[in-house]
Amino acid sequence: MSASPSPPHTFRWKRLAVGMAVISVLAIMHGAASALSGDGVTVYWFAFWLLGVPVNMLPLFVSFTWGTRRGFGPTQTLLATLVVAAFFGGIGGVGACYLMRHHPQILPPPPREPTYLGTAGFGVVFGVLMCALWALAFIYPFALEDAKLRALEAEKLKLEAEKLKLEAEKLRSSAELARLRTQLEPHFILNTLNAIAGFTTQEPQEARRLIGCLGDLLRDVLHDADEMQTLGEEIAWLRRYAEILEARHAGSLHFRWELARGTHDVLLPRLLLQPLVENAVKHGALRRKGGGQVRIQATITKPDKGAARLVCTVEDNGPGMAATPPRSGAFGIRSVRRRIELKYTDGCLRIDSSPEGTRTVLDLPCATAREPMTVMTAGEAAR
């Protein structure tokens, strides 16, 4: 966060104080060097620091302020101050020559008689030297301060741009999650209605009971906009879903639930397990002759390094997955993978299939409703 700029009058007085301090230090260093060399502090020292420096620096302040207010660029401002410094330095040289030639009691002349042309040239050089001292004392320190403030402002703008980019990616991620969920809900409803359809003519009473179960499922799915829910709520919902499937495939399908202690409070995206259970039923257990089984497990693992993780396993005893790639319209596993990519930085989905069955393992960071979650943006998922 950058510092607040000082008021203009405070800034001017601060600049003047710093400049005068630098000039004073240079004057003291010059006097000390003259004293050590044996020359001593002469009238020329007083003329230089007490008369020449202020007289030559005043026009520099005026020209610099005028140039900046007129909107001059750095090169134009530099040339303007150099011209002003040379001009007033030459005028001062001519004036000093006049005093040395006509009023030696005021300004003693050097051993050689000065000329107007020579002192004017010396005055030009003296003026440029004054410009350098003025820039060193009054411009350079605040140029550094301005550069520092600009760097801080640039860093602040960069951070704000990154924040806006992150917010945009989060919105994009949320939109894609919502789209995946809206695709999943009609997909689930259609498959559940197909499961109930077989009872409408043969067992209407059972069909009515299952329609009641479906109503409970739809109430939980469609009326709750929260993307996250606890595993306990997800399992309770899946048990009602499994009840419909077991009734539809009586004697051919059985569910087992094995949930370790502490897993019920862990958060995960809503309906994340439903496509895995549906695949285990449709492509696994129901294809086993004599009846199939689907087992849902949940445990919490604690690695030696890192935070605890939730491991959910959906396993069936069917003939295993086909070696061919999934059909083009397949949605369940693809939606689960994409939701994991969008929601977690280190979540994963593994599928192991053999002739004895298919085992799908969901490995996610373990976070409860009272703990923060580590999520990723859509831009990070794309990378």
Sequence-distant (≥ 6) Cβ neighbours of residue 247 within 8 angstroms: 199, 206, 209, 210
- Which residue type occupies 29? M
Q: What are phi and psi of 119, to 5 degrees?
A: -70, -30
User: Would you place residue 5 in the very low, low, confident or very high pLDDT band (cuts 50, 70, 90)?
Assistant: very low
Query: Rounded to the nearest 5 degrees, what angle is found at the Cα of 155, between the Cα atoms of 150 and 159?
Result: 145
- Res 269 pLDDT > 80: yes
Q: Is the pLDDT of residue 341 over 70?
A: yes
Q: Which two tokens stand for residue 124?
A: 């030009």
pLDDT digits (tens, 9 = 90+) for 116-135: 888 888 878 877 887 877 77
Angle at 318 between CA 316 and CA 320, to 5 degrees: 100
Mean pLDDT within 161-184: 71
Q: What is the spatial distance between Cα 56 and Cα 127, in angstroms, rounded to a whole number?
A: 7
Q: What does the DSSP 8-state code read for residue 281?
A: H
Reported pTM: 0.52
Question: Which residue in this structure is represented by tokens 């996250």?
Answer: 228
Task: Provide mean pLDDT across the span 203-228.
Answer: 74
Distances 256 to 36, 281, 292, 315 between C-alpha atoms, Å: 99, 12, 11, 10
Report the CATH fold assignment for 198-382: Heat Shock Protein 90 (3.30.565)
Q: Which three-class secondary structure state does DSSP give residue 376?
A: coil
Residues of the chain within CATH 3.30.565.10 domain(s) are: 198-382
Run of H or E residues at 136: none
Lowest mean pLDDT among 192-206, 230-244, 263-277: 192-206
The larger pLDDT score, comparing residue 32 to residue 69, is at: 69
Q: What is the chain's mean pLDDT, rounded?
A: 77
Query: Which is it for strands 309-316 and 292-301: parallel, antiparallel or unpaired?
Result: antiparallel
CA-CA distance, 306 to 294, in Å (whole number)?
Answer: 31
